[in-house]
Amino acid sequence: MTIELLTRDNAATNVDPSALEAVDVRGLDASGLDSRLRELGRVQRRVSGLIAEVVAEKKRRSRVGDTVDGLLEGLRVSKGQARKTVDEAAQLDKLKATRDALVDSRIAPEHARIMGRASENGPLDEQKMLKAAETQTPDQFRKTMRDHQNELAGDEGEAHHERQRQARTASFTEQDDGMWRLYALFDPTAAARIRKVLNTKTDAKWRLDNKRGRDHISDRHRRADALEQLITRQSFEGGQDQPQGTTLLLMANYDLVDNKLGNPCLADGTPLPASEFHKLACDADILCGLFRETDSEPIWLGSTSRHPYFALRAALEARDGGCIGCRVEPEWCVSHHIIEWQHGGPTQPDNLVLLCHSCHDKVHHNNWAVEKHPDTGRRYLRPPWQKPPSKATSRNGQQNE
């Protein structure tokens, strides 16, 4: 007994029915599992080719929207996947030899996708590339196709490279769960530069995390952190990063009784946890404003003045000499508001000190305090377990004023 899957020419393509039957894979040994995968792979390749054939024919007879609806109902895929299937079927409709090779299970769906995309990007010897696809993995075939098209271009790949440059794109979209997805497509030259910088930054974070005993962080999380820092922070000589200058619009309620802000959120209404609010307030300018509650009409807008101007910054460097906690050079320091800016702290010398990024984190996340020494009058950093110093006592037992 065989199951017949009819091709365009009504030629029967035989499929072993056992490949489509449910099997208790727990009873298979390693060799049996591999054999099962090979059987299912043959079925998958043939079905992919036949789906492409049906979709291309349906697209010829109806609108794209109707074809997409047919896929949504027939294959129960997402709308994005349905549109992708329609596009790929249209590409294979122009490469009938490739589609036949897919139906005959001589190539995999990924080989066919590479052929389809390549057909839109430049010249292509279909038969030659099919022979290569039958013996190569998709990763190997992708490089073979690239070299093949560069060779046929006859201009040392200039035209092909320019088409790739014109195809570059980037998008930043919000997902259903509130997370954001960054998608980008680059030509090989730009991708090589980006990959080099991203890998270097990720490796640096790995070394730093291991030094701090945080080697449990996964590579994908570390890579995401590296990308975020590359985009949002400026790199300076010595490998130090500092925040990019940013104007941030936060919406919050103001409590007149307690004289503090509450329920902070971004301009689009996304709520912010208190810890994230404080972090953003340290790394960005804040534009203060009052809005009418009924229609969000602005009543008053202030000006950004969180960061000290040049002369004030120079005065801070001359006074503090660097970080008041670890004495690192002022070039690696930020200007910290003792009374926080979002709580009304002024950008004035008496309310500012220099802190390196590490000591700055200690103040905001580990409860270290900026204190004024009773004898010298200089600001210093006190850990939470250390008692504040008392005033020095003179020889006659009286406290020095």
Q: Of 45-54, 187-196, 376-385, where does mean pLDDT reach its minimum?
A: 187-196
Mean pLDDT of 264-288: 63
Q: What is the pLDDT of residue 374?
A: 84
- In sequence order, the β-bridge partners of residue 250 are 266
Q: What is the pLDDT of residue 380?
A: 92
Token pair recorded at residue 392: 């020095």
pLDDT of 393 over the 50 cut: no
Q: What is the pLDDT of residue 346?
A: 82
Q: Say if residues 381 and 320 touch (Cβ distance below 8 Å).
A: no
Mean pLDDT of 31-43: 89
Q: What is the pLDDT of residue 160?
A: 64
105-112 CB contacts, 8 Å cutoff, 24+ apart: 105/41, 105/42, 105/45, 105/46, 106/130, 106/134, 107/45, 107/133, 107/134, 108/41, 108/45, 108/138, 109/44, 109/45, 109/48, 110/138, 111/138, 111/141, 112/48, 112/49, 112/52, 112/88
Q: What is the pLDDT of residue 86?
A: 92
Q: Which residues of 234-253 are buried (b: 16+ CB within 10 A; e: fewer)?
A: eeeeeebbeeeeeeeebbee
Length of the chain: 401
Mean pLDDT of 88-111: 92
Higher pLDDT, 46 or 251: 46
pLDDT band at 375 (very low <50, low <70, confident <90, very high): confident
Whole-number CA gyration radius for the chain: 32
